[in-house]
């Protein structure tokens, strides 16, 4: 028997041997198509290749593509578990020709694979073609030798395939397998076609046209091929099963759930086991591709699928959370083909367990409410919308879970009533918001959020993608379009641009469209915490609401921001290790060029502290451990040791970032709650350097630091400055400090010598103490001098010398230093009855623009700001002597 894994392998090997490039499965979140919630067909990753926008990886390719059909346009969720074929997760085997081979080769390859390689009985095969496709009809006759009655012409959309309203499309031809007359059902196109006897196994699409809004608007650059064969369906044919849940992969998973609940599936419980097995696959694969449960968008679809499975686990009587315990069986079964499942196993397990534990807290109460409300209802009755809304709002029952719970009893739910209860709640929330007095200019954001819901951030895993314009805001009001030159705020349904929050700066980058639109994004905000607003300048073309734009974050800048953000976490941990647990974050700024971190600590960091902290952070960087993210409730996160900001409001779920090496209790070096974007591994930070440490307020310190190339450049600049200093000092960089210390000593010595010399100069040749400048004013001998550069503290000494030399008389000195003047006068004792040194100084000081002056009648001193009046100050003394004497 061919196992499912064997069939996947055989398919890829066959096309590999036929010169096809084997493309790995693309992630389930389609970044190239904003109209799709999840990849729902093998061709989705190649959509732009068919239309010629992107160049192909090779002329022909083949893949086994993960697909999810739940939420959005392709939604099989409601049927899963109750039909023989519906799955929310499946693998699509496909071969693609990008303008290489066309119909003939495609039919030949398909026929050879299923009849020769897989050995299906050709008598059990029949095909359909689009009613006008004579060529395909002919080719089936020629290549497969099928008689006309087994080549059925179909005139409906069933045989014209399109990925969506916009994009490549073309007529198709489907291959069916006949399970034989024991199974009810008719061939395709017959009234009984919905029966299970004839099952479509492979769809060959002859991609030729391009459609927009469901209308054919042109042809593809070259006719191409897209085929899709559901792996689980071909496996059921190969394994002789009519129900996909009977194939080996599902048997393994169902056996695992049977073992966990301790009972083999019976007729009543089998649907629940099937739901669990299918939902385990879709939820695990979605999480492996970065989708995590939330209350909006893709995350909510994921949560809905999980909760649906969890109700079925409860129905099976599971007393404990069940889903996470099935993950090992899934990984064993599919991990080899999809290594992301192995990598994601811890995250998937933890998330499932947490979700189920949490949901079980309200599940039973909700089910009781549901029982009370529907106790006397029966087949054909309708549950009121109010109750369905209460189940949703209070007990966390997604709408489709309530539907699912009532399905077996034939009870439906009043959809309109549910919607109106929901609308009423939104209106009440808005009224409360208006009453809260928040800024009126945010009203436009409220309008948009209410109409469009949250805009989805896809930038944790990608920096590029496509988004549909859901709103344009110009000068505070919504507009329908914006043209070249306009400055507008653009909102798209999804975006890889990070909106400024949590201290991390908003992303910048570009938006574009093949029509020639070019937009520069200068900043991204996050009003109301759930909208992403791109501040943009339209450079060319026109942007209209509803347009699809290609979004490109400035990756180099984002990488710098990431490095700075992750370094902030590492330095936080290093500060706590070095300084103590009292260190808590008080604020942070994560920008492109630097990071800033404010924290509580009572005193400045010493140089040793800074060196030790830097060394510790750089050691973690060099260890280059992968950075991991988990989603948890805030309480669980704190219990797991995550640092949370006191007083910060966290939602139901928080992202927990773990980075650095594992230490005691297996805990990583840093564990923090954080919504920001981070490096993949700490080595991406490259280098960490603290460049300043200062006080912000009492008890709060701030460090600023650099990472990566900015840190390297900073060090280079420092080195260059040091080299320049060494050059000027004519020494080596290592000796600069000693050399400067020696120079400073030398300078002190020189200053001392200079002061002494000046003093000597003043005392000596031509100076005040030696007399040649003595003059006689009236009968009094007077010596008055202006001395530049004389230290004021030498004035008294000099004047004492002068008094001694003169014997009887008056001396005055004005010492000018850096424009200012010190002024002192001395009167020999025999003359103090006639002149007071204090009066003389006051007169001089006044001229110098100063005030006062003090001392004794024989010696006084003062000063003034205007040194340029020094001569006048001396003259003022002279004038007093002349006047008194006269
Ligand atoms: N795109 C087609 C389908 O999904 C064939 O791969 O059916």
Q: Whose CA is nearest to atom 4 of ligand 1?
A: 41
Mutate which of 68, 169, 228 for ligand 1 pocket (most atoms within 8 A of beta carbon): 228
Is residue 203 in contact with ligand 1, taking CB distance under 6 Å?
Answer: yes
In angstroms, the Cα distances linking 11 to 6, 23, 117, 140, 388 are 9, 13, 9, 21, 46
Asked if the structure places residue 462 within a domain, the reply is yes
The two tokens of residue 568 are 């902030």
Distance (angstroms) between ligand 1 centre and the Cα of 642 equals 45
Contact present, 176 and 201 (Cβ < 8 Å): yes
Ligand 1 center to 228 CA (angstroms): 4
- For residue 41 and ligand 1, the question of a CB distance below 6 A is answered with yes
Give the span between the Cα atoms of 203 and 206, in whole angstroms.
10
Q: State whether 134 and 239 are in the same domain.
A: yes
CATH number at residue 40: 3.30.930.10
Q: How far is CA 422 from the centre of its chain?
A: 31
Pocket perturbation via mutation, ligand 1, pick of 50, 69, 92, 110 by most ligand atoms within 8 A of CB: 92
Does 498 sit in the ligand 1 pocket, CB within 6 Å?
no
Tell me if 208 sits within 8 A of 220, measured CB to CB: yes
Whether 719 is in a domain gets the answer no
Q: Are residues 270 and 313 in the same domain?
A: yes
> Cα of 43 to ligand 1 centre, how many Å?
7
- Please choose, from the candidates 391, 657, 621, 611, the residue with its C-alpha nearest in 3D space to the C-alpha of residue 502: 657
Q: Which atom of ligand 1 is nearest to the CA of 229?
A: 6
Give pLDDT tens digits for 529-578: 889 999 999 999 999 998 989 999 999 999 999 999 999 999 999 999 99
Task: Please list the ranges in the chain whose pLDDT falls under 70.
Answer: 72-74, 433-441, 644-652, 760-772, 884-886
43 lines ligand 1 (CB under 6 A): yes
3-state SS, residue 768: coil
Please give the Cα distance from 19 to 141 (Å, whole number).
26
User: Beta strands of 567-699 (E only): which ranges?
Assistant: 585-590, 595-600, 628-632, 654-662, 668-673, 688-697
| Ligand 1 atom nearest residue 94's Cα | 6
CA separation, residue 55 to residues 149, 465, 822 (Å): 41, 17, 85
689 and 823 housed in the same domain: no
Angstrom distance (rounded) from CA 771 to CA 782: 10
In what helix (H) or strand (E) does residue 94 lie, and over which residues does it extend?
strand 89-97
Q: Is residue 865 part of a domain?
A: yes
Residue 517 belongs to a domain = yes
- Residue 146 CA to ligand 1 center (angstroms) comes to 23
Same domain, 682 and 566: yes
Mutational test site, ligand 1, from 23, 69, 161, max ligand atoms within 8 Å of CB: 161
Does residue 284 sit in the same domain as residue 161? no
Ligand 1 center from residue 470 Cα (angstroms): 29
Length of the chain: 886
Ligand 1 atom at minimal distance to the Cα of residue 163? 1
CA of 204 to the centre of ligand 1 (A): 7
Q: Judge whether 489 and 534 are in contact, CB under 8 Å.
A: yes
Q: Give residue 387's Cα distance to chain centre.
A: 38
Spatial separation of the C-alpha atoms in residues 28 and 37, rounded to whole Å: 9
Residue (of 468, 505, 469) closest to 489 by Cα position: 469
Query: Among the atoms of ligand 1, which is closest to the Cα of residue 204?
Result: 5
> CA 389, CA 399: separation in Å to the nearest integer?
8
Same domain assignment for residues 242 and 254: no
Residue 436 dihedral angles phi and psi, to the nearest 5°: -80, 0
Cα of 44 to ligand 1 centre, how many Å? 9
The predicted pLDDT at position 765 comes to 47
**Do 108 and 192 have their domain in common?**
yes
CATH number assigned to the domain comprising residue 802: 3.10.310.40
> Residue 500: which CATH number?
2.40.30.130
Same structural domain for residues 422 and 474?
no
Whether residue 566 is found in the same domain as residue 684: yes
**C-alpha dist (Å) from residue 637 to 360, 566, 599:** 19, 18, 21
- Going from the Cα of 165 to the center of ligand 1, the distance in angstroms, rounded, reads 15
Of the residues 374, 394, 422, the one at which a domain ends = 374
Residue 164 belongs to some domain of the structure: yes
How far is 415 from 383, CA to CA, in rounded Å? 9
248-269 pLDDT, tens digit per residue, is 999 999 999 999 999 899 998 9
The count of domains in the chain is 6
Question: Going by CA atoms, what residue is nearest to atom 6 of ligand 1?
Answer: 228
91 Cβ inside 6 Å of ligand 1: no
Domain that holds residue 489: 442-553
Ligand 1: residue whose CA is nearest its atom 3: 228
Dihedral of alpha carbons 79, 84, 89, 92, sign: negative
Q: Give the domain-ending residue among 553, 579, 599.
A: 553
For a substitution probing ligand 1, which of 201, 204, 205 has the most ligand atoms within 8 Å of its CB? 205
- List for the chain the helix, strand, coil content (%; round to 5): 45, 25, 30
Non-local CB neighbours of 765 within 8 Å, separated by 6+ positions: none
Give this prediction's pTM: 0.68
With a 6 Å cutoff on the Cβ, whether 227 touches ligand 1 is yes
Classify residue 761 by burial, with Cβ atoms within 10 Å: 0-12, 13-18, 19+.
middle
What's the gap in Å between 99 CA and the centre of ligand 1?
Answer: 17
> Which pLDDT score is estimated for 811?
94
Cα–ligand 1 centroid distance for 242 (angstroms):
21
In SS3 terms, 377-433 reads as CCCCCEECHHHHHHHHHHHCCCHHHHHHHHHCCCCEECHHHHHHHHHHHHHHHHHHH
Q: What is the pLDDT of residue 771?
A: 47
Q: pLDDT at position 207, please? A: 96
Domain annotation covers residue 726: no
Helices (H), 510-640: 555-579, 607-623, 634-639
Answer whether residue 725 is part of any domain: no
Residues 281, 183: one domain?
no
Query: Residue 595 and residue 618: Cα distance in Å, rounded?
Result: 15
Distance between CA atoms of residues 423 and 624, nearest Å:
50
Q: Is 205 in the pocket of ligand 1 (CB under 6 A)?
A: yes
Under 8 Å CB-to-CB from 318, ≥6 apart: which residues?
A: 260, 261
What CATH number does residue 688 fall under? 3.30.980.10
Please measure the distance between the N-terminal and C-terminal CA atoms of the chain and give it in whole angstroms.
Answer: 138
How confident is the model at residue 650, as a pLDDT?
A: 56
Q: How far apart are CA 331 and CA 248, in angstroms?
A: 14
Q: Is the shortest distance between the CB of 208 and ligand 1 below 6 Å? A: no
Q: Are residues 455 and 601 in the same domain?
A: no
Boundary-marking domain end, from 508, 533, 553: 553
Pair 426, 460 in one domain? no
* 382-383/412-413 β-pairing: parallel
Q: Is 70 exposed, middle or buried (0-12, 13-18, 19+ CB in 10 A)?
A: buried
- 738 assigned to some structural domain: no
């Amino acid at each position: 028997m061919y196992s499912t894994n064997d069939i996947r392998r055989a398919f890829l090997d066959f096309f590999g041997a036929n010169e096809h490039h084997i493309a790995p499965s693309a992630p389930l979140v389609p970044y190239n198509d904003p109209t799709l919630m999840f990849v729902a067909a093998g061709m989705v990753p190649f959509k732009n290749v068919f239309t010629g926008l992107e160049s192909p990886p090779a002329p022909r390719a083949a893949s086994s593509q993960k697909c999810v059909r739940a939420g959005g346009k392709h939604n099989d969720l409601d049927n899963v578990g109750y039909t023989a074929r519906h799955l929310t997760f499946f693998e699509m085997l496909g071969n693609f020709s990008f303008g290489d081979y066309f119909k003939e080769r495609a039919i030949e390859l398909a026929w050879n694979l299923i009849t020769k390689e897989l050995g299906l009985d050709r008598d059990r095969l029949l095909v359909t073609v689009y009613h006008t496709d004579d060529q395909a009809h002919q080719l089936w006759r020629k290549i497969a030798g099928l008689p006309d009655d087994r080549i059925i012409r179909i005139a409906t959309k069933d045989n014209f395939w399109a990925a969506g309203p916009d994009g490549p499309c073309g007529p198709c031809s489907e291959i069916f397998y006949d399970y034989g007359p024991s199974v009810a059902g008719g061939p395709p196109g017959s009234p009984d076609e919905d029966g299970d006897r004839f099952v479509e196994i492979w769809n060959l699409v002859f991609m030729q046209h391009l459609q927009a809004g469901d209308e054919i608007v042109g042809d593809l650059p070259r006719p191409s091929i897209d085929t899709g064969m559901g792996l689980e369906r071909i496996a059921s044919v190969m394994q002789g099963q009519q129900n996909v849940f009977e194939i080996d992969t599902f048997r393994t998973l169902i056996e695992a759930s049977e073992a966990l609940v301790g009972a083999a599936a019976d007729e009543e419980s089998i649907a629940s086991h099937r739901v669990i097995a299918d939902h385990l696959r879709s939820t695990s694969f979605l999480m492996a591709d970065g989708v995590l449960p939330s209350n909006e968008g893709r995350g909510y679809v994921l949560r809905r699928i999980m909760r649906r499975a969890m109700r079925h686990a409860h129905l099976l009587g599971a007393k404990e959370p069940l889903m996470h315990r099935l993950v090992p069986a899934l990984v064993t079964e599919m991990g080899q083909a999809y290594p992301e499942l192995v990598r994601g196993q811890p995250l998937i397990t933890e998330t499932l367990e947490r979700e189920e534990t949490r949901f079980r807290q309200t599940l039973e109460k909700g089910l009781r409410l549901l029982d009370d409300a529907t106790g006397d209802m029966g087949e054909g009755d309708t549950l009121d919308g109010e109750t369905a809304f209460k189940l949703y709002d209070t007990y966390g029952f997604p709408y489709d879970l309530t539907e699912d719970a009532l399905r077996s009893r034939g009870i439906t739910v009043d959809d309109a009533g549910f919607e109106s209860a929901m609308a009423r709640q939104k209106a009440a929330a808005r009224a409360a918001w208006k009453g809260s007095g928040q800024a009126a200019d945010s009203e436009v954001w409220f309008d948009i959020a209410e109409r469009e819901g949250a805009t989805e951030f896809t930038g944790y895993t990608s920096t590029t993608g496509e988004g549909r314009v859901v709103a344009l805001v110009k000068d505070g009001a919504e507009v329908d379009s914006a043209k070249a030159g306009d400055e507008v705020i653009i909102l798209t349904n999804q975006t890889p641009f990070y909106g400024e929050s949590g201290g991390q700066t908003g992303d910048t980058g570009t938006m574009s469209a093949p029509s020639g639109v070019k937009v520069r994004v200068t900043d991204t905000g996050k009003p109301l915490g759930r909208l992403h607003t791109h501040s943009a300048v339209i450079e060319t073309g026109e942007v209209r609401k509803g347009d699809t734009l290609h979004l490109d974050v400035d990756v180099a800048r984002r990488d710098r921001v990431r490095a700075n953000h992750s370094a902030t976490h590492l330095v936080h941990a290093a500060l706590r290790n070095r300084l103590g647990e009292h260190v808590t974050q008080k604020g942070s700024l994560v920008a492109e060029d630097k990071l800033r971190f404010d924290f509580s600590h009572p005193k400045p960091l010493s140089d040793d502290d800074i060196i030790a902290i830097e060394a510790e952070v750089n050691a973690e960087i060099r260890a280059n451990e992968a950075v991991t993210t988990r989603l948890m409730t805030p309480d669980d996160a704190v219990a797991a040791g995550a640092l949370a900001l006191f007083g910060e409001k966290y939602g139901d779920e928080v992202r927990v970032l773990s980075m650095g090496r594992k230490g005691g209790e297996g805990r990583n070096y840093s564990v923090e709650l954080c919504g920001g974007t981070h490096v993949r591994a700490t080595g991406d930070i490259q280098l960490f350097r603290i460049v300043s440490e200062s006080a912000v307020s009492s008890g709060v310190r701030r460090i600023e630091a650099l990472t990566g190339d900015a840190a390297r450049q900073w060090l280079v600049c420092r080195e260059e400055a040091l080299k320049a200093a060494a050059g000027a000092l004519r020494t080596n960089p290592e000796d600069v400090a000693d050399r400067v210390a020696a120079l400073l000593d030398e300078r002190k010595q020189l200053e001392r010598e200079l002061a002494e010399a000046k003093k000597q100069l003043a005392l000596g040749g031509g100076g005040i103490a030696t007399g040649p400048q003595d003059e006689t004013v009236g009968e009094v001998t007077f010596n008055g001098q202006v001395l530049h550069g004389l230290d004021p503290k030498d004035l008294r000494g000099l004047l004492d010398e002068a008094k001694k030399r003169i014997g009887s008389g008056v001396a005055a000195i004005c010492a000018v230093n850096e424009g200012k003047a010190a002024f002192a006068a001395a009167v020999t004792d025999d003359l103090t009855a006639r002149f007071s040194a204090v009066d003389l100084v006051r007169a001089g000081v006044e001229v110098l623009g100063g005030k006062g002056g003090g001392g004794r009648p024989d010696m006084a001193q003062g000063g003034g700001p205007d040194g340029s009046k020094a001569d006048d100050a001396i003259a003022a003394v002279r004038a007093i002597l002349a006047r008194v004497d006269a």
